[in-house]
Structure 1
Amino acid sequence: MRVLSDNQCEAAAAHGVPHHEEVREGLWAVAVPMPGSFLSYTLSMVMLHADGQVYVIDPGSEGEATVEIFRDFLASHGRSLADIATIVVTHSHPDHLGSAARLRELSGATVVMHAREQEEVEGSQSRLIAQLREQVAAWGMPEAEMRGLLDMMDRADYGEHPDIRADLLVRDGDEIAETGWRVVATPGHTAGHMCLVDDMRKLLFSGDHVLPTVNPGIGLSGSRDNENAVVDFLASLERLEPFDDYEVCPGHGYRFYGLKERRLEQAAHVHKRAHEVETILARDPDLSVWGIAEQLTWSAGWQTLLKSTLLASGLAQTSMYRDAVRAGITSRMPPAPAPVKSH
């Protein structure tokens, strides 16, 4: 994998926020901060069209601070918020969809979302957190750890999905007028996640489906089907094969070449986790989620995860894999990919 933006890469490593930068003529990556998150920013894409209109992908977290970022950026290029014609959202998580409603209010822009993802918007974050709290008691955690986790969840700001109805619902293969962007449905991270392809510029806007520095969570929808999420995610990675030579503009991290290498790494991670869980359950089919998680290979180590705000997410993912393995998902997964050597 080859880094294409030292600016973004250095910011990601330092947990900072990169400067805005031009990716192609008139196409900019505008960083929107994510306070309180282990990922410090969302990379919003902004096209300043020659006809004076502005097109945006993933406008970032809700709040007046985000609005000011867009207002100042557009003003520096002789544009205004009123020029925003279209806002395309790759998926409904607050750090991507958050400011869409406010920017639409200020500009009259058309908000575009995948038809399946629209179903996840209204109250889905509330449902997800409520489901998560219900699951905690069933995860088999020691009493002290469970109280600590529930307390941490009470104090955490998970964000809320804005209650928004998109103006235009799209499906796989649809094109976004005037932009040259084509929809590629990539369910897995959420049920209606989509990437956008710009064939003329050979760009892939990957949202949270393919990221350069982290493995995205799977099945993070309010009405998620955990078993299908694993299969969907792997199939969606395969669907991106035609764009392996495209530059990737992700929702977080930095721009890069090497899509094939990265998507196969992500697929291998899913295979490894699924087979780890399968092996553990073969020894003890009735083991709790907590008991499984203690034995898994975590990037930063189990003891580090115990002290992290990501503990709830890690246990939820463990629960998802357990349910998927029990449903026989490993027998239906495509073969594990062979690694790709870096050049």
Structure 2
Amino acid sequence: MAEQIARLDQGAWAAPGVVETVHPGVHRVPLPLPDDGLHAVNVYLLEGLAEDGRLVMIDGGWAVPEAREALEAGLAGIGRELGEISHILVTHIHRDHYTHAVELRRLLGSRVYLGAGERPGLELLHQLGSDEPAGSLDVLRRAGADELADRIGKMDHGGYDPEVWEAPDRWLGAGNVGFGAGELKVVPTPGHTKGHVVFLDERRGLLFAGDHVLPHITPSIGFELAEAGGRPLADYLDSLRLMTRYADTRLLPAHGPVADSAHTRVAELLAHHDDRLARSLAALGDEALDAHAVARRLAWTRRAVPFGELSAFNQMLAINETAAHLDVLVLEGLATVAHVVGVDRYCRVR
């Protein structure tokens, strides 16, 4: 998250009405995210995979009227129509990726696919009847930030509409998913969420990376609807390293412009987290501190914004990321953690 809340150099990538053919038969369309700092989410329209000549779409966008209008305009730009979308593959469960896919299914009869690791989060969302990030709020409480957790819990998180949070037609695990004329490799990449997946088009040398590998920013870690648990940063770092086991590809991200080399950006993200781990260890000093206290000692975004100047939502992301880094330091034997009255307190190992 360290850079997620930085202002992006929007350039042309997020401009409304854009349709970019990034490879023959592969088209990028940015859909607007009203009142969101990321401004837009890229969806990709793929020709040549479905045997009936229809379109496969990667990610769905956020279920708002502006997204539907932008998608229809993008389709018109390549001489296609909304009704030609037959399959929608979603990288993860966040509303700016999933909810519009479900609406399009209701409208068009398209099939929706989602990583199997997102199932617990979706089920919990229905149990709670709310799309608040329950897992992230639990991390806040274990980080000693009860007051912030209470404030975040009372916020409007976009409104819970069970119709746009319906289950997918198919839960995806690792392997290939085919559509008659072609297929994509599904690669689970937990970290940003537990069930995040990327889609690898090995024939065309393209990685549809969702929020796993972003060209300008670092994704938030462990931003969950599901219950908290595990070691999301350790999972994320492993998922980044996993990308280097495949041949290098062009990077087609969910936010930001297309980049020439996925491997180059993966190396940058790994170096970034090495730096944040070192800074988190230094911030511990000689005291026993919770993640909230450590986060307050760190600077945030490329502009080195003090923690106290962040919005409540971005303070939540900062604390979640700090806890994730501290947990990795524990795994590496550089820190210890003790659970004291429901709060995790970390100490540097001397």
Residue in 2 that maps onto 1:223: 226
Q: How far off its partner does 1:51 sit?
A: 3.9
Which deviations, in whole Å up to 9, do the C-alpha atoms of 1:283-323 show, x marking residues without a partner?
112x2333211222422224376243522211222233334
Residue in 2 that maps onto 1:317: 321
Which deviations, in whole Å up to 9, do the C-alpha atoms of 1:34-84 show, x marking residues without a partner?
111111100100123484311100010112332233333334444332221
- Cα–Cα, structure 1 residues 330 and 271, in superposed 2: closer, same or farther, change >3 Å? farther
Q: How far off its partner does 1:137 sit?
A: 6.0
Which deviations, in whole Å up to 9, do the C-alpha atoms of 1:103-149 show, x marking residues without a partner?
011111111112122332235494753455566566556x9xx57x8
Give 2:205's match in structure 1, choosing from 202, 206, 212: 202
Equivalents in 2 of 1:119, 1:134: separation in Å? 15
SS at match of 1:98: helix
Residue in 2 that maps onto 1:330: 332
2:240/2:270 contact within 8 Å kept: yes
SS at match of 2:271: helix
- Cα–Cα, structure 1 residues 224 and 212, in superposed 2: closer, same or farther, change >3 Å? farther
Of residues 150-159 and 170-179 in structure 1, the stretch that sits farther from structure 2 once superposed is 150-159
SS at match of 2:28: strand
In the alignment, structure 1 segments of 5+ residues that lack a partner are 1-7, 333-343
Question: After TM superposition, where is structure 1 displaced by more than 6 Å over at least 4 residues in a row?
Answer: none
| 2:187 maps to 1:193 | no
* Structural mapping, 1:240-259, within 5 Å: 240-243=243-246, 245-259=248-262
Which deviations, in whole Å up to 9, do the C-alpha atoms of 1:2-41 show, x marking residues without a partner?
xxxxxx96135xx754711111222110110111111110
Q: How far off its partner does 1:212 sit?
A: 0.5
Equivalents in 1 of 2:111, 2:16: separation in Å? 28
Residue in 2 that maps onto 1:264: 267
Equivalents in 1 of 2:319, 2:221: separation in Å? 12
SS at match of 1:190: coil
SS at match of 1:44: strand
Equivalents in 2 of 1:129, 1:259: separation in Å? 29
Which deviations, in whole Å up to 9, do the C-alpha atoms of 1:178-205 show, x marking residues without a partner?
3431111111111111111111111111
| 2:112 maps to 1:111 | yes
Residue in 2 that maps onto 1:47: 46
Q: CA RMSD in A?
A: 3.0
1:22/1:29 contact within 8 Å kept: yes
For normalisation by structure 2, the TM-score amounts to: 0.79
Equivalents in 1 of 2:131, 2:55: separation in Å? 34
Equivalents in 1 of 2:69, 2:274: separation in Å? 42
- Cα–Cα, structure 1 residues 130 and 119, in superposed 2: closer, same or farther, change >3 Å? closer
Equivalents in 2 of 1:297, 1:226: separation in Å? 26
Residue in 2 that maps onto 1:25: 24
Q: How far off its partner does 1:250 sit?
A: 0.4
Residue in 1 that maps onto 2:122: 121
Residue in 2 that maps onto 1:57: 58
Equivalents in 1 of 2:198, 2:110: separation in Å? 20
Equivalents in 2 of 1:234, 1:159: separation in Å? 32
Equivalents in 1 of 2:242, 2:143: separation in Å? 34
Letter in 1 for 2:210: G
Equivalents in 1 of 2:314, 2:152: separation in Å? 10
SS at match of 1:10: coil
Equivalents in 1 of 2:264, 2:159: separation in Å? 32
Residue in 2 that maps onto 1:289: 291
Equivalents in 1 of 2:152, 2:167: separation in Å? 32
Equivalents in 2 of 1:65, 1:25: separation in Å? 27
Letter in 1 for 2:225: G
Equivalents in 2 of 1:129, 1:55: separation in Å? 29
Equivalents in 1 of 2:31, 2:228: separation in Å? 30
Letter in 1 for 2:36: S
Equivalents in 1 of 2:112, 2:197: separation in Å? 14
Give 1:298's match in structure 2, choosing from 282, 297, 300: 300
Aligned length: 316
Letter in 2 for 1:312: M
Letter in 1 for 2:104: L
In the alignment, structure 2 segments of 5+ residues that lack a partner are 1-8, 335-350
Equivalents in 2 of 1:160, 1:202: separation in Å? 38
Which deviations, in whole Å up to 9, do the C-alpha atoms of 1:220-254 show, x marking residues without a partner?
22235554212211111111114453111001001
2:214/2:256 contact within 8 Å kept: yes
Of residues 131-140 and 246-255 in structure 1, the stretch that sits farther from structure 2 once superposed is 131-140
2:62/2:98 contact within 8 Å kept: yes
